[in-house]
Structures are given as C-alpha cells and as structure tokens.
C-alpha cells in the first residue's frame, strides 16, 4: 500500500534560524582572525533583544554587537513595525572563556592526536531520490522558502512579505519507495497588514499558489515537476493572519531546527546541533564527514540509499564505532558491516583528519545556517571580515566541502565498481 512522507523547512527569518545565523556569524569572525579558535556560541532572540552566551578560547576579540546587528539587518529585520530590528534591538553578551577541563581533552601536542570535543553519535545520509542525493520532500520545502525570500527581496510581484516563514511538503510513495505525487503543501508566511482579514488571506493564498509555486516548480527537474498535480491540498497561513512573527512572535534559540538542518526526518539524527560550534565539536564536523561518506558511496553506486553512523568518546581520537545501513539497497557483494569496515579505511574519521580533509577551520559557516547544511552546492568564494580590533582580512574559502563527490573514483576502485 502507498505511504506518505512529510518534511518541513523554515526560512532565514524564522526566530530559531535568526539565532543560528548570529551564532555562525560569530564563529566565522573568530575563525577568520584566529583559525584555531574554540567556539561554542548560543544565541537567544526575542522582542527587541538578543542574548549571546557560550564558551570561547581565542586570540582575537570581536565587536559582537555589530556582528549580530549586521546579520539581523541582512535577513530583513530592518523596520520598527517588526518589534525586532538590527538597528534598534539590545544585544547582551554573556560569552566567557572555555573550560580548561574540556580543552585538555581536545588540544594535544600533535594535531593529529586531537581528541573529540564531546561524546555522542552523528549520522550522515544520502539517497538517489534527487540529483544532490537528498530526500525529495525536504528539497522541495527548502526550494519553496528560498524562492519566497527572493520574492520578498524583489518586492515587485508580492510586496507585503515579512521575513518569517515555514513550509511543509507531503509526498505519496509507492510500495517500492518511488515518489508518485505531491499530496499537500503548507506555507505560512509573515506579512504586512494590508486589508481586511478575509480579503488579505484570500490574496495571500492566491499569490502563493499562482506566483510562488509556479516559480518553484519551474526550477525543479522534469521528473519532480510531474509530481505537481491539480489535487494538491494547499494550506496557506492556515491559522489566519500572520502579521506578528519573527523574534517578536516567538523566541528563537540556536540549535532548535536540527531536522530542517539535515535530512527532514529521513535517515537518523544524533541529537547534536551545529550552529555556533567550531569543528573540534564532532556534533558538527563528524556529521558533515558522515554525509560526505554517505554521498560518495551512493554516488559511486555502492547503494541507492545509505546511512552512516559514527560515535565518539570525549577526548578520544578514534571513533568508538562506525556503522553503515544500506536499507537493503546495496549493489555490492558485501554486508553492511563489511561496507562500514571498508569505508572506515577510505575515510579517516579522526577529528583532526576531518578538519583537514573538509577544510573546516575556515570561516564557512554562516552560509550553512539557513536552508539546510546538507545538499548544498560546493563553491569557492572570497569573504571579507572587518573588526575595530583586528583590522580587515580577506579569505578565499571553500563552502560545503562535505558535498563534494571527490572520493567517488576511489570508492569505485576499492569496491570494484
């Protein structure tokens, strides 16, 4: 019997994502001026206020207020009517130095012997369902909100949009796990108050269905476009008007959208958040490395769908375990346990090796903090950082290195594909 699967996404203006972006902007600035910085920054945003907290060990000093305000303004919170604006909000910093008890388990005389920054398990997942090896429902959910943000910034076809929004997509699958059709799409978007409630809601629904969705559909591959149909159930701002939103409507915290950040409920999640954490925290770096393994194995033809789990003990160099689950889709004459053993020889999962292989000690993290950390396009960009204490630094960095298919040839050679 056919089954349904649903994934959601949230926009860059969602309160939790505002917090994530501020935390990662702080991390990027620390790494730009001191690549060996150890950072764990948490952010809380609410009506007219930003609270920064966490632990940092770094040789640099930052104007954290200006960094937070710049992020908020870039997202689009620039008006007093939002009750949260980069130019007027208060910014309180409670950031302090990292505990030496933690640091002694991470820093070693030899970089290669760097211990894991914490215990825990991390997961990476990949599927042939989409061109970028991500779950389809999540990809469409992200696409809806990216395009909605473009419409907001353009301000021409739809001129009443505010930064906070959410989306959700439900897809029907056949018994053999093939997408059949889109069943439901949910879009909730913050907006100006521009008419009487009923007329306003009717216009918003009409614009989302007739302007946004066609723009999204046009960008998708032909096989995905075919899943759109006249029977889709649309829930557009289903609770009614959504004028009060953003951090004024709902307090935001770093690390509360970990499923949106990863695979939309497919595969698994170890529970650790990413944003605000430097790569010595395996919550982040090992999750990226696990995705890198899973994507390269699937792209090489080892399996159609694959999950990688890795686990660590705090201060210990080698992982405590590595697991591979191919969900019965393996294309090689190996057990999942044998695939895991081979993968562990191809991909060095020691924390320092992950940092080096994926170039993680660079200021590359703000770009990850909205619309998902996985499934993004690897690219090289030049970033400029300015500080009243450190001057100006310009860095060329590689973004989303864990999405590169740079091990496919080696995987094929080892597995005889």
Residue ranges of domains in the chain: 3-9+135-244, 15-112, 120-128+256-379+399-415
Quick check: 265 pLDDT over 70? yes
For residues 225-250, give the mean pLDDT.
Answer: 94
Structure confidence at residue 106 (pLDDT): 60
| Torsion sign over Cα 130, 135, 140, 146 | negative
Is residue 164 a known part of a binding site? Answer: yes
Instruction: Assign 156 a pLDDT band (cuts: 50, 70, 90).
Output: very high
Whether 42 has a pLDDT exceeding 80, the answer reads yes
pLDDT given for residue 308 in this prediction? 98
Residue 99: predicted pLDDT? 56
36 is in an annotated binding site: no
What gap in Å lies between CA 191 and CA 160, rounded to an integer? 5
Nearest to 310 by CA among 298, 318, 299, 319: 319
Provide the pLDDT for residue 160. Answer: 96
- Residue pair 43/51 in contact (Cβ under 8 Å)? The answer is yes
- Known binder of ligand: residue 14? yes
Widest CA span in the chain:
67
Q: Rounded to an integer, what distance in angstroms lies between the CA atom of residue 24 and that of residue 152? A: 23
What pLDDT score was predicted for residue 301?
97
Please state whether beta strands 90-97 and 49-57 pair in parallel, antiparallel, or not at all (unpaired). Answer: parallel
Q: Which of 121, 119, 61 has its CA nearest to residue 95?
A: 61
Task: Choose the CATH number for 120-128+256-379+399-415 among 3.30.300.10, 3.40.50.720, 3.40.80.10, 3.40.50.11060.
Answer: 3.30.300.10
Tell me how far apart the alpha carbons of residues 273 and 100 are, in angstroms, rounded to a whole number. Answer: 22
Mean pLDDT of 139-157: 97
Q: Is 42 annotated as a binding residue?
A: yes
Q: Is 242 annotated as a binding residue?
A: yes
Is 261 marked within a binding site? no
| Contact by Cβ (8 Å): 84, 252 | no
The answer to whether 16 is a known ligand-binding residue is yes
Residues in the chain: 417
> In this model, does residue 70 exceed pLDDT 90?
yes
- Neighbouring CB atoms inside 10 A of 381's CB total 11
Looking at residue 266, its pLDDT comes to 95
Retrieve residue 382's tokens: 């030049």
192 annotated as a binding-site residue: no
Q: How far apart are CA 18 and CA 291, in angstroms?
A: 24
Each residue of 175-207: pLDDT tens digit?
A: 999 999 999 999 999 999 999 999 999 999 999
Q: What is the pLDDT of residues 329-359, one digit of tens each?
A: 999 999 999 999 999 999 999 999 999 999 9
**Given this model, what pLDDT does residue 108 score?**
53
Q: Which CATH number fits domain 3-9+135-244: 1.10.287.3510, 3.40.50.10790, 3.30.300.10, 3.30.1360.30?
A: 3.30.300.10
* pTM value surpassing 0.85: yes
Instruction: For residue 208, give the DSSP letter.
Output: I
Say how many C-beta atoms besides its own lie within 10 A of residue 99's C-beta. Answer: 10
- Candidate CATH numbers 3.90.180.10, 3.90.199.10, 3.30.300.10, 3.40.50.620; the one for domain 15-112: 3.30.300.10
Residue 63 labeled ligand binder: no
Q: Report whether 250 belongs to an annotated binding site.
A: yes
Q: Where are the alpha helices (DSSP H) in 128-212?
A: 136-154, 197-207
DSSP letter at 314 equals B
Both structure tokens of 347: 């991909």
Angstrom CA distances, 227 to 180, 200, 265, 276, stand at 6, 29, 20, 37
Alpha helices in 34-135 (DSSP H): 64-75, 100-106
Q: Would you say residue 403 has pLDDT above 80?
A: yes
Q: Could you tell me what percentage of the chain is helix, strand and coil, using 3-state DSSP and rounding each to the nearest 5?
A: 35, 25, 40
Cα–Cα distance between 57 and 36 in angstroms, integer?
9
Please indicate whether the domains covering 3-9+135-244 and 15-112 agree at the CATH topology level. Answer: yes
How high is the pLDDT of residue 310? 98
Please give the average per-residue pLDDT across 50-72, as a whole number: 95
Residue 116: DSSP 8-state: B
Residue 242's nearest CA partner among 186, 313, 322, 314 is 186
Q: Is 409 annotated as a binding residue?
A: no
28 sits in which H/E element: helix 15-33
Specify the pLDDT at position 119.
87
d(CA 53, CA 296): 37
Give the CB-side neighbour count of residue 177, counting CA atoms within 13 A.
Answer: 12
Q: Which two tokens stand for residue 178?
A: 């093939």
What are 84-134's pLDDT values in tens digits? 999 999 999 999 986 554 455 565 556 667 878 788 999 999 999 999 999
Percent of the chain past pLDDT 70, that is, above it, reads 96
333 is in an annotated binding site: no
Report the C-alpha gap between 29 and 37 in whole angstroms: 10
Mean pLDDT, residues 69-82: 95
Q: How far is CA 141 from CA 47, 136, 152, 169, 182, in A?
A: 27, 9, 17, 6, 12
């Amino acid at each position: 019997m056919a089954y349904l699967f649903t994934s959601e996404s949230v926009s860059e203006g969602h309160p939790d994502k505002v917090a994530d972006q501020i935390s990662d902007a702080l991390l990027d600035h620390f790494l730009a001026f001191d690549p060996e910085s150890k950072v764990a920054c948490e952010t809380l945003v609410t009506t007219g206020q930003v609270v920064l907290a966490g632990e940092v060990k770094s040789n640099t000093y930052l104007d954290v207020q200006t960094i937070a305000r710049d992020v908020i303004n870039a997202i689009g919170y620039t008006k007093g009517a939002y009750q949260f604006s980069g130019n007027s909000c208060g910014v309180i910093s409670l950031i302090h130095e990292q505990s030496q008890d933690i640091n002694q388990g991470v820093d070693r005389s030899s970089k290669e012997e760097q211990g894991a920054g914490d215990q825990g398990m991390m997961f990476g997942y990949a599927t042939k369902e989409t061109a970028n090896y991500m779950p389809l429902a999540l990809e469409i959910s992200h696409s809806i909100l990216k395009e909605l943000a473009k419409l907001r910034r353009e301000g021409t076809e739809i001129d009443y949009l505010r930064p906070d929004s959410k989306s959700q997509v439900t897809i029907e699958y056949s018994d053999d796990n093939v997408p059949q059709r889109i069943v439901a799409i949910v879009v909730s978007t913050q907006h100006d108050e521009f008419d009487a409630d009923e007329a306003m809601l009717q216009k918003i629904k009409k614009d989302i269905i007739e302007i946004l969705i066609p723009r999204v559909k046009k960008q998708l591959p032909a096989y995905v476009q075919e899943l759109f149909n006249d029977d889709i159930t649309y829930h557009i701002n289903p609770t009614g008007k959504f004028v009060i939103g953003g951090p004024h409507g709902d307090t935001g915290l770093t690390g509360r959208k970990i499923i949106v950040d990863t695979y939309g409920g497919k595969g698994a999640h170890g529970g650790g958040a990413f944003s605000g954490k430097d790569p010595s925290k395996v919550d982040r770096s090992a999750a990226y490395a696990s995705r890198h393994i899973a994507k390269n194995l699937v792209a090489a033809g080892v399996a159609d769908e694959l999950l990688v789990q890795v686990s660590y003990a705090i201060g210990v160099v080698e992982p405590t375990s590595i697991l591979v689950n191919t969900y019965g889709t393996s294309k090689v004459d190996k057990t999942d346990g044998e695939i895991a053993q081979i993968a562990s020889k191809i991909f060095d999962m020691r924390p320092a090796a992950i940092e080096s292989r994926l170039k993680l000690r660079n200021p590359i993290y703000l770009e990850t903090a909205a619309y998902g950390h996985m499934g993004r396009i690897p690219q090289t960009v030049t970033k400029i950082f300015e500080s009243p204490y450190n001057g100006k630094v310009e860095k060329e960095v590689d973004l989303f290195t864990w999405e590169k298919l740079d091990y496919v040839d080696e995987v094929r050679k080892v597995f005889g594909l």
